Structure 1
Amino acid sequence: MVTFFEAALNKISVHHVGNKSQNEMYALSEHPVALKDDLISNLLKQYFLTPFEKTNEVYHLMHSSGDLALNEIHHFATQIFEYEDQFHQTSEQIAKYLYEVADHPKIKSGELYVAHFKNLQIEGEVLDALGIFKSENKETYLKVYPDKGGFNLDYEDNAININKLDKGCLIFNTAKEIGYKVVVIDNNTRGTEAAVYWKDGFLQLKIRNDSYNQTNNTLGVYKNFVTNKIDEDFEMTKADKIDLLNRSMKYFKEKETFDMDEFAGEVIGNEKAIESFKTFKSQYEQEFDTPIANTFEIAANAVKKQARVYKSVLKLDKNFHIYIHGDKDLIEKGFDDGKAMNYYKVYFKEEQ
């Protein structure tokens, strides 16, 4: 999605942002970082940009009121793109804004990097981009150095691992009127308000509803439907559920275009279940304000992503795992009265 083999790190400023709710302060640099050589520039590009090579989701900046002008990051990005000579002053404003909005007591303090890149590529378009990154987690590194005919050890405390970017975003100088194109990294997203401040509070993002997300959302909604909803209307074994999931994954892997009626007929089959799924899908669209079209081009990379979380394993106590990849009619469930235990009978022609 994002490539940077021709990219140049044009400018970078570094500030420290503490946690306001913990009475920590922020500290602003007086001037941008002077990049002393190509090595440090290349290391920074590796640290900041490599994580985005595998991102597929593209976002736009937005505001809950519907007025994009009220999104502060959109305002700051526009300033940097239009008035490059004000880069450092604008980076200070970005740091102050993060300090004000990231006020949950569990948010970690850290360094904020604001960078301006030239010749970054997204979706085949070569553009300038604003990068905003934050390092929250520090590590200790051992250093080995020659000493008196042998070697000695030292360490570097509170250092940054350039292979682990905590938080970051790239805002590309295109589609300004709808909130620019934005890609985001957030590797500390576990369940609390502190985990969502980067995307929701600071950047205020809305995901672009393209074929990737149409594919991803449809597979995700269907998985939730089969896993959590279908039991309300039908008695189904776990093997039956796995079969439904396998059939849906087969459909998405073999087809180039999704068609709701075709999918419903080939994968779900039962009219009552079809109506239940359509209602479930509609409720998702309303709750998350994310419409899913009845027809769209299937994105293979989204199918690959969802395939990792689609379960085809039937776990039986702690003794057996049965992997179901094909015809569910070759597996039968029963109950043994003598042993008072459930069992599965599996039919096959050859043992491999």
Structure 2
Amino acid sequence: MVTFFEASLETISVHHVGNQTQEEMYALSDQPLELKDELIPNLLMQYFLKPFEKANEVYHLMHSSGDLALNELHHFASQVFEDNSKFHEASQQIARHLYKVTNHPNIKGGELYVVYFKQVQIEGNPLDVIGIFKSENKETYLKVYPDQGGFQVDYEQDAININKLDKGVLIFNIEKENGYKVVVVDKTNGGQEAARYWKDEFLQLKIRNDSFNQTSNTLGIYKNFVTEKLDDEFEMSKADKIDLLNRSMKYFKEKETFDIEEFSNEVIGNEQAIESFKNFKNQYEQEFDSPIADNFIISENAVKKQARVYKSVLKLDKNFHIYIHGDKELIEKGFDDGRAMNYYKVYFKEEA
């Protein structure tokens, strides 16, 4: 979704943001970073942008009041997109804003990089982009070098691994009135409260309600419905639940569009269960203020992502795992009175 083979790094400013609850301060640079080595910009491009190549979710900046002008990042980004000469000043304001919301004891301090890129593509559209990145975790590296006919070993502490971006966000100069197109990376956490501050407090994001999001949400809602809700209304074995999950995944893999009536009839089949699923879906939409259309184009990437968490494994005590991928009629559950234990009988033609 995000590519950068034609992109260029125009300007970068670096600051340090500590944790105010740990009595750490922030330190602002006086001017943008001067990149003298031609290799450094290429390394930085890899460090900053490569993690976004697999980002599928697109967000918009928002504000809880509904007034987008109150979102700090939207305000600073708009300033810079309108007048590039305000870039460094805006980067300082971004650092101050991040420090203001860094108020949980588990949040690590670190360097903040604010970068202006050109020609970064999202959904095939090359755009100017403001990137904001934070490095929190440092590593120690060994260096081996020739010395007097042999070799010496040295090390460097508190160095940054350019293959491990901790936190980052790209704000694309498009759809300003909706909160710009935004993609985000957050690979660090210090507990749920600490992890939330980047997306929810610093950026204040809402996910774009596109086909990826609609596909992902529908699969997630259905999975929760099968694993959590069905037991309240029906007596179902775990094998039956796995079958329902497998049938839903088969539907999403084979179809190009989702239709709730078609899905309900083909996958669920039972009228009472269908009504229960629709009510469950409506409750989700109301609780999270995230409407899902009854018809939408299925996102292949969202299906692949959800397939990783759709479990087709039947776990039996600590002795056996049965993987169920096909016809549930080929597996039978029973009870052995002599052993006072449950059992499964599995039918097959060939042993692989």
What TM-score, normalized by structure 1, do the two folds share?
0.99
Call closer, same or farther: CA 1:190–1:305 in 2, change over 3 Å: farther
Residues 206-250 of structure 1: per-residue CA shift (max 9 Å, x gap)? 000000100000000000110111100011111000000000000
CA distance in 1, matches of 2:284, 2:308: 22
- In the alignment, which residue of structure 2 is the partner of 1:320? 320
- In the alignment, which residue of structure 1 is the partner of 2:89? 89
CA distance in 1, matches of 2:287, 2:140: 44
- In the alignment, which residue of structure 1 is the partner of 2:107? 107
Give the deviation of 1:334 after TM superposition: 0.5
CA distance in 1, matches of 2:153, 2:37: 27
CA distance in 2, matches of 1:253, 1:284: 23
- In the alignment, which residue of structure 2 is the partner of 1:129? 129
What SS does structure 2 have at the residue aligned with 1:185?
strand
Counterpart of 1:321 in structure 2: which amino acid? H
Residues 173-195 of structure 1: per-residue CA shift (max 9 Å, x gap)? 00001100000000024642111
CA distance in 2, matches of 1:199, 1:20: 19
- In the alignment, which residue of structure 1 is the partner of 2:98? 98
Give the deviation of 1:19 after TM superposition: 0.5
Give the deviation of 1:106 after TM superposition: 1.1
Could you list the runs of 5+ residues in structure 2 that have no partner in the other structure?
none
Counterpart of 2:131 in structure 1: which amino acid? G
Does structure 1 residue 12 correspond to structure 2 residue 12? yes
- In the alignment, which residue of structure 2 is the partner of 1:220? 220
CA distance in 2, matches of 1:241, 1:165: 38
CA distance in 2, matches of 1:182, 1:328: 43
Give the deviation of 1:170 after TM superposition: 0.2
Residues 249-286 of structure 1: per-residue CA shift (max 9 Å, x gap)? 00001110100010000000111111111111111111
Moved more, 316-325 or 55-64: 316-325
Does structure 1 residue 55 correspond to structure 2 residue 55? yes
Displaced runs of 4 or more, over 3 A: none
Counterpart of 1:141 in structure 2: which amino acid? Y
What SS does structure 1 have at the residue aligned with 2:310?
coil
How do 1:299-314 residues align onto structure 2 when only pairs under 5 Å count?
Answer: 299-314=299-314
Counterpart of 1:55 in structure 2: which amino acid? A
CA contact (8 A) 2:106 2:191 kept: no
Equivalenced residues, count: 352
Cα RMSD after superposing both structures: 0.8
- In the alignment, which residue of structure 2 is the partner of 1:261? 261
Q: Identity of paired residues, percent? A: 77
- In the alignment, which residue of structure 2 is the partner of 1:69? 69
Counterpart of 2:236 in structure 1: which amino acid? M
Call closer, same or farther: CA 1:189–1:53 in 2, change over 3 Å: same
Give the deviation of 1:37 after TM superposition: 2.5
- In the alignment, which residue of structure 2 is the partner of 1:151? 151
Give the deviation of 1:38 after TM superposition: 2.2
- In the alignment, which residue of structure 2 is the partner of 1:29? 29
How do 1:124-203 residues align onto structure 2 when only pairs under 5 Å count?
Answer: 124-189=124-189, 191-203=191-203
- In the alignment, which residue of structure 1 is the partner of 2:281? 281
